[in-house]
Amino acid sequence: MPDRGGGPPTGPRIRVGRPSRRVRTLLMTLGVLAVLAMAFVMFAGFWTDWLWYRSVEYSSVFTTTLWTKIGLFAVFGLLMATAVGVNIWLAHRLRPPLSAMSLEQQSLDRYRMGIAPYKKWVLLAITALVGLIAGASATGQWKTWLQWVNGVPFGQKDPQFQMDVSFYAFDLPWYRFLLGFGFAAAVLSLIAAALTHYLYGGLRITSPGARATAAATGHLSVLLGLFVSLKAVAYWLDRYGLAVKSSDFKATGNWTGLRYVDANAYLPAKTILFCIAVICALLFFATLWRRTWQLPVIGFGLMVLSAILIGGLYPAIVQKFQVQPNEQAKESPYIQKNIDATRKAYGIDKATPEDYAGRGDPNRKAQQRADATTAASYRVVDSNVVSPAFQQLQQERKYYQFPATLDVDRYPGPDGKPQDTVIGLRELDIEGIPKRNWINDHFTYTHGYGAIAAKGTSVITDPNKGTVGSPDFTESGMPTSGQLKKYEQRIYYGEKTQQYSIVGGPQKELDYEASTGPTKYTSYQGKSGVSLSSALNRAAYAVAFGEPQILYSGAVGEGSKILYNRTPKERVEAVAPWLTIDGDAYPAVVEGRIQWIVDAYTTTNGYPYASRTTLGDTTTDSLTTNQRAVVAQQNQVNYIRNSVKATVDAYDGSVKLYQWDTEDPVLKTWMKAFPGTVKAKDDISPELRSHLRYPQDMFKVQRELLTRYHVTEPEQFYSGSDAWQVPDDPTNKGTSVVPPYYLSLKMPGEKEQKFSLTTTFTPAGRPNLGAFMAVDADANSKDYGSIRLLRVTGTVQGPSQVQSELNGVPEVATFVRDLRGTDSDIEYGNLLTIPLDGGFLYVEPVYARGGSANYPLLKKVAVAYGGGKPVFKDSLPEALDAAFATTGERPPETTPPPRDGTSPPTTPPATGDAAVKAAVEDVLKAYEESTEVLKKDPTDREAYGRAQDKLDAALDRLAAAQGRPRPSQSASP
């Protein structure tokens, strides 16, 4: 149209329209490339995982897991999409032919008109979205599905419902998932249908007349009926859920299973609510004929009211007026069920405390000294302390390292008999590489070299053989040599090996640098690793690892393979994702190879009546802070078995899983799900079996449970009068509990030493020794796994008291003063406790660190026996001689060791009127302190125990001052 205005001429018009064909082509190309890049990133993760599983020969684990997840995603995604989509379609189909002429409907007309051209696409988008979300959520239940479909019976029934334990462990979790999915489908369908009815006039909020059409009423009522039906099913399953329900029970703390109120109030309440929910659901379905919500709404209201009154108020009344007035009597049968189930679930059902005096006969010193020689292989080389000595003496190069905590194993000595040995691998330390770059980090420095071992029971004493007090190595050097047989020394897989390496290609690897002679180079010949010969694999790993040089570097070529997932824990977790892995893998030289031995557990939290424990909390001790890993930090379980022993070859990374517990139904279930992945127990070679041991984390879980569950009588369990606790580590400045110690020893009644795992207990809130626990840790022993519990019946010093008294020995003060004069300091080793002739022998190595040798050197050994004063000598034989030559039982009139760890007076008690008067004043004062403690905090057992000790001590002094024996039971003044 010509410009009819009279304005000034305008400039050229800017034409706004579709972009040119070239621009459109460029944008389309960029979009396609972006989609392809995203797709390749996703493909790279999938492809590299598949290649890795194939390289370790566990591709069946990958495919079984993958197809299970795909199946769950497809089935439950499709079910959810169908449920929501069908209800949207049905609500649209049931829409009224004409909309009411109201402001509400006129405003909705705009939305209806806007959606009309895209109704099919909107329906597809909504159903696809909910289907994707539901399918993705269902994939997380792959373990639950596999356990349900492959579940093996336990052969044990719960005491309430007489259902096999497998129902709670395998079936109930799957039923709960299905129920949760059903609730989600019902709610989403209800919301989608209601919105569709509202959009098309089937539901009205502000319009006059009926609020809903008959069709909308019937449709929504059926959905509500399905929801209430699912609630009825939930009430029925809740009945069984009571057997695995966790709750707080003030008498015992954590509690699992039914209590009196559950069996006599909640259980009948759930049954009644189930019946009410069924009736309510039928009323909703009846609206298909009655077309009114009056009865269903009334029924739903009654169900909610019943849930409050029957499911909440009634149990509270029963608890308040029936249980609390006589709680112990009411709860005793249920406590007994909890005790029996917990002891069975944790494998401690055969651990029965044996009474043990704890104090030896003072008239048998000579015999005790003779027996002490063979009572144990005293491990004076503490594996938790001597790692710096290994590092200093055997590191050889800065790019090698040892773990902070070494491992304890058994190897044949010169006489052919097994001896306790401290062992550690010389692993690669990438931070110590002289020149850091991509080639050095991933091609040149690829592996550690050699296993270093030392005697666990002795150190160097001859200055001609080395520094006095340093470890006496039985395998050392570069390459190593010694008592170990010839073996493959290269360590490509280890606890400290976190980085990936590319080996076997054009680039040579540094093998080792000997003290004399040329540097040795090598090229990896092992079967592990993924080939990088193809461009596809290189591209996939370049994307997966975020390192483009993998794709184009000349150092990657024919024969190149990439090694990753190199820690034993990572490899076992990857090939057996259904196992819980112990926090400490340990190395052993077996049949010419270094094998990492990994203990693995099968667990469940569905064992009825068994109390739950959090593995991360239970397995924490003074060594897990910065030295060794904690198993399964937040994993809560109430059943555990060390069902699998796994090995990882330190050279080729091959993983083997061996069935260890042949009776475990959880392992049998997983073996059905993943056939062929676990080898038979008989396939374990004799040499490998000789290095298997009882796992520490299993032991720590059991000892924590035994602090309460050593008691089998419900009345005593309820009162908590015989509760124990794991003592804090007296050699550590923190407040973490003492770790268990591997030690070869003779338990009472045994004629030969057995390789054992040991720990001590103290009474709850008191420092004196309460019990001693040892488990046969030798896999070749017929009694492997048998637990011995010695309950101390006398008053015996606990570890903290012995340590406190040792610190007060004059020789120790002199030793510390002399050390600090040479810029050195004292470092205490493991405080070992050994039963001997009715008493307990404490042995503790003492190290000096600093000065010319900046690593721990064993300088002294402390020994205490039978409550005697600790002795502090240059060697273990001297200390044992001194302990049994000069000390015996404390005199009967001497004050028992107080709970605060301080040493009681050892001078003879004074007599006379003045002494009696002073003793009476002490008794009155101690009694007042006890009373004040009770008034201040009646639950503070520790403070009350200390006050009672002071009172007992005062009564002892009064009796001694009066020249009469102390009565067995003290009376309050």
* Dist CA 814 CA 236 (whole Å): 72
Instruction: Give the distance from CA 753 to its chain's centroid.
Output: 31
Answer for the pair 777, 756: CB distance below 8 angstroms, yes or no.
yes
Strands (E), 546-664: 561-563, 580-581, 586-590, 593-604, 613-614, 636-637, 639-649, 655-659
Q: Can you spell out the DSSP letters for 16-65? A: -SSPPHHHHHHHHHHHHHHHHHHHHHHHHHHHHHHHHHHHTT-HHHHHHH
| Measured distance CA(307)–CA(266) in Å, rounded | 11
| pLDDT score recorded for residue 890 | 41
Say if CB 642 and CB 663 are below 8 A apart: no
How far apart CA 369 and CA 678 sit, in angstroms, is 49
Per the CB < 8 A criterion, the answer to whether 448 and 611 are in contact is no
Alpha carbons 462 and 892: distance in angstroms, whole number: 44
Give the separation between CA 427 and CA 430, rounded to whole angstroms. Answer: 10
CA dihedral (71, 77, 80, 86) in degrees, to 10, reads -100
Instruction: Find tokens 């098309």 and name the residue.
Output: 200
- Phi and psi at 249, nearest 5°, equal -120, 115
CA distance 619 to 963: 51
- Torsions phi, psi of 540, nearest 5? -65, -45
Enumerate the β-bridge partners of residue 951. Answer: none
Whether 654 contacts 527, CB under 8 Å: yes
Structure tokens at 154: 């336990």
Rounded to whole angstroms, how far apart are CA atoms 475 and 486?
A: 11
List the alpha helices (DSSP H) in 549-663.
549-552, 568-575, 615-618
Alpha carbon distance 202, 190 (integer Å): 14
- Give which of 648, 644, 662, 656 is closest to 603, Cα–Cα: 644
Query: Which letter does DSSP use for residue 513 in this model?
Result: -
User: Which parts of 76-121 are beta strand (E)?
Assistant: none
Full DSSP string of 292-325: -SHHHHHHHHHHHHHHHIIIIIHHHHHIIIIIGG
- Per-residue b or e along 763-778, where b marks 16 or more CB atoms closer than 10 Å to that residue's CB: bbebbbbbbbbbbbbb
- Packing angle, helices 365-375 and 876-886, rounded to 10: 150
Is the Cβ–Cβ distance between 750 and 416 less than 8 Å? Answer: no
In the DSSP assignment, the letter for residue 728 is B
Burial class of 35 by CB neighbour count within 10 A (0 to 12, 13 to 18, 19+): exposed
Distance CA 949, CA 957 (A): 12
What is the token pair recorded at 440? 């050095």
**Any idea how long the chain is?**
973
Cis bond before residue 479 (omega within 30° of 0) = yes
What are the backbone angles phi and psi of residue 563, rounded to the nearest 5°?
-110, 130
Other C-beta atoms lying within 10 Å of the C-beta of residue 118: 11
Tokens at 359, concatenated: 């104090």
| Contact of 87 with 223, CB cutoff 8 Å | yes
Separation of first and last alpha carbons in the chain: 120
Paired strand residues for 659:
644
Nearest to 598 by CA among 569, 639, 626: 569
pLDDT at 4: 45
Note whether 482 and 476 are within 8 A (CB).
Answer: yes
> Per the structure block, which two tokens stand in for 544?
């997966």
Q: How far, in Å, CA of 125 to CA of 44, rounded?
A: 28
Give Cβ neighbours of residue 488 (< 8 Å, ≥ 6 apart).
Answer: 592, 593, 594, 650, 651
Q: To which residue do tokens 């924590």 refer?
A: 704
DSSP class of residue 381 equals S
Q: Using CA atoms, how far apart are residues 635 and 928, in angstroms rounded to an integer?
A: 46
Return all residues near 322 (Cβ < 8 A) that are at least 6 apart.
260, 264, 330
* Beta bridge partners of residue 312, listed in sequence order: none
What pLDDT sits at residue 892?
37
Over the Cα atoms of the chain, what is R_g?
Answer: 37
Which residues, in sequence order, are bridge partners of residue 756? 743, 776
DSSP H or E segment with residue 466: none
pLDDT along the chain (973 residues), means of 10: 46 55 77 78 87 93 94 95 92 75 62 72 88 93 94 92 94 95 94 87 65 82 92 94 84 79 90 91 83 75 84 84 85 91 93 88 84 89 89 89 90 83 92 90 91 90 84 90 90 91 89 80 90 90 89 87 93 93 90 93 93 84 57 74 94 94 94 93 93 92 92 87 87 79 90 91 88 93 92 87 85 82 81 90 89 82 86 90 65 38 41 56 66 59 64 65 47 34
